[in-house]
Amino acid sequence: MSLRVVFMGTPDFAVPTLMEIIGQSHEVVACYTQPPRPVGRGMGERPSPVEVKAEAFNIPVYTPRTLKSPIERESFLSHEADVAVIVAYGLILPKGILEASAHGCLNLHASLLPRWRGAAPINRAIMAGDTETAVEVMRMEEGLDTGPVCMAEKLAIGPDMTAGELHDALSRLGANLMARALAALSRGALVSEPQSEDGVTYAEKISKAETRIDWSRSAQEVHNHIRGLSPFPGAWCEMPRGETQERVKVLRSTLAEDSGKPGEVLDGLTVACGEGAVRLTQVQRAGKRAMEEEEFLRGSRLAAGTLLP
């Protein structure tokens, strides 16, 4: 049985789920997404990836800046939805919206709840060195990612996997999981279980202040930091370029067996850490494209013994 669905999402991560819902012949009666944001030097406004895709399928798009007003609740109620599906929407849903659909709101969250509730679960899982994560469908309630879990699909995190790679894998996995959840809901078979009260952690939004690489940390921690922030916002360090220091984003790294003073360039782009060393295998200068280690060194050879701040 097809369902009347209100879809609420904003970034690329949400698009596969929207497409899967459409492909399963559910009726997406409305799409809620964040308003267009100014981008680029000209500061022209760019609609969200979800808005672009919704408009391609002639789905009505709504971009309220808040859902707390009675007018927005009445508008939401007018869709007469069976269920709302939320994937990285970006706005807090007040109680009036949570209760506005016949079957409430189903949220797709990218972590092994209750670990990494909050805004940046993919980044935080890798930065913490987790070897496993998941996507989970949960029934939303007023708390931050506290609702009961309906379905989950686990995924291993490879030792060199970046946040971008994990993002894409979980996005595809989550789309399939939500489709299965809606199928179960349509036949009255979707059940949920409360989250454990043990092991709760919070995935705080990534701040600019924490993106700089700290060479005093162990090589494993530096490696996890780099891949957990790749490709965005990107971990970075300063490297000498002529008489000045330039900011270089590090997109990929591997563990190395060398050792030295923290921040010491040992060979090529192998840099010593507080314990062990990492080899920087892909880097990017500001405003330039990403380069592999060998290409970067052809234009910016670093002498062994150079200390990176």
pLDDT tens-digit profile of 139-187? Answer: 999 999 999 999 999 999 999 999 999 999 999 999 999 999 999 999 9
Give pLDDT, residue 44.
77
pTM over 0.85, yes/no: yes
Helix (H, G, I), strand (E, B) or coil at 227: helix
Give pLDDT, residue 37.
86
- What stretch of H or E contains 30? strand 27-32
The DSSP output letter for 257 is S
pLDDT tens-digit profile of 43-62? Answer: 678 999 999 999 999 999 99
Q: Is the pLDDT of residue 38 over 90?
A: no
Give pLDDT, residue 39.
77
Architecture of domain 208-299: Roll (3.10)
Architecture of domain 4-202: 3-Layer(aba) Sandwich (3.40)
DSSP-assigned letters across all residues of 202-217: EEPPPPGGG-B--TTS
Tell me what percent of the residues of the chain surpass a pLDDT of 70: 99
Separation of alpha carbons 95 and 205, rounded Å: 24
Separation of alpha carbons 279 and 256, rounded Å: 6
The sign one gets for the Cα dihedral 23, 26, 29, 33 is negative
Q: Is the pLDDT of residue 118 over 80?
A: yes
Q: Is the pLDDT of residue 100 over 90?
A: yes
Separation of alpha carbons 211 and 236, rounded Å: 6
Strands (E), the chain: 4-9, 27-32, 37-39, 44-46, 61-62, 83-87, 105-109, 117-118, 132-139, 149-156, 202-203, 235-241, 244-256, 265-267, 270-272, 277-285, 290-292
**Residue carrying the six token digits 């789309």:** 175
Domain boundaries, the chain: 4-202, 208-299
CA-based nearest residue to 255, from 217, 297, 295, 284: 217
pLDDT tens-digit profile of 6-16? Answer: 999 999 999 99
| Amino acid letter, residue 233 | P
**Residue carrying the six token digits 């040992």:** 266
Separation of alpha carbons 51 and 273, rounded Å: 44
Q: In this structure, are residues 116 and 201 in contact, taking their beta carbons and an 8 Å threshold?
A: yes
